[in-house]
Amino acid sequence: MNKQTCFLIAPFLLTGLTSLAQLPPVPTVPTQLSFANISVQLDPDAQRIVQQDVNSLMANRQYWNAKLDRVVLYFPMIEAILIDEDVPTDFKYLAVQESSLTPDAVSTSSAVGYWQFKAETATGLGMRVDDQVDERRGITASTHGAARYLKQSNKQFNNWVASLYSYYLGAGGITKLIPPDWAYAREIALDGRTDRYILRFLAHKIAVEGALPGHQNGNKLALIEYGSGGGKSLRAIAIETGVDEFELQKYNRWVLNEGVPTDKPYVVVLPVTADQI
């Protein structure tokens, strides 16, 4: 393999997985938690709403465990990009909330991909969206795009919770909704009137954080970056690197015509087995 970066990867080396293992308990929502180095206080009504969402997220354990497998697979790559972009890694839970970490997720408003961007927003953030490439469906490009959006918002509002809210309603949509004292605040209080989007995000963070330590990873693959794909077809890359072509296509849904363009650098995600690392 040529240029590539490895992110994972001890978890998939675990063996002896069994569906008979005891299910982890549903986390109890606390009165206080930390998000992006901000202390978030929840009143009883906010606690109740977040707890309901946590319970709902974990209700179907088969679906939930499949989602956690995707979390284990994608989080190392997402975290590395957020760190590189100087964005708090807590925002990795936003991709879980937005798309359940599936590249083909499409909303009723035509937002697409891991981070649910509309086409015009994506192109404004530097992504290519056309009949050859849709970088909204690529984990690396879309995560960089999300990080750029969040940084722009934080520069305006000086509060990462406000940045989170703007991801839902846009910067203009929240200007009159967020309290003035949120700017530079290290502690904020949320209640039952807080927008459900923010509370649902906290539910994802609490649920995933609580479940991951006891999760038995079902992945047989890890993901690494490959930066030498320009001008090559996915089939050629699969042959060159020894990865399964079907799996390569699965994790590179952003390539729409089976070929990687040469107009700029693109990162191809290689799904590899333990002996290929």
CATH (domain of 132): 1.10.530.10
What local confidence, expressed as pLDDT, does residue 276 receive?
A: 80
Total domains present in the chain: 1
Both tokens of 85, joined, read: 């972009």
CB proximity list for 150: less than 8 A, separation 6 or greater = 87, 91, 160, 163, 164, 167
CA pair distance 138, 140, nearest whole angstrom:
6
This prediction's pTM: 0.91
- Parent domain of 129: 30-217
Looking at 114-255, list the stretches that DSSP marks H as alpha helix, in order from N- to C-terminal side.
119-124, 139-157, 160-169, 171-174, 196-211, 234-241, 245-250
- Say if 145 falls within a structural domain: yes
Query: What 3-state DSSP class applies to 167?
Result: helix
Average pLDDT, the chain: 93
* pLDDT (tens digit per residue) in 16-28: 444 434 677 999 9
In a domain, 52, yes or no: yes
- What percent of the chain clears pLDDT 90, i.e. is strictly above it? 90
User: What is the DSSP pairing of strand 38-42 with strand 187-190?
Assistant: parallel
* Residue 255: inside a domain: no
Residue 65 located in a structural domain: yes
- The tens digit of pLDDT for each residue in 29-70 reads 999 999 999 999 999 999 999 999 999 999 999 999 999 999
211 lies in some domain: yes
pLDDT of residue 20: 39
pLDDT of residue 19: 44
Domain annotation covers residue 182: yes
Res. 2: pLDDT tops 90? no
Is residue 239 included in any domain, yes or no?
no
94 in any annotated domain: yes
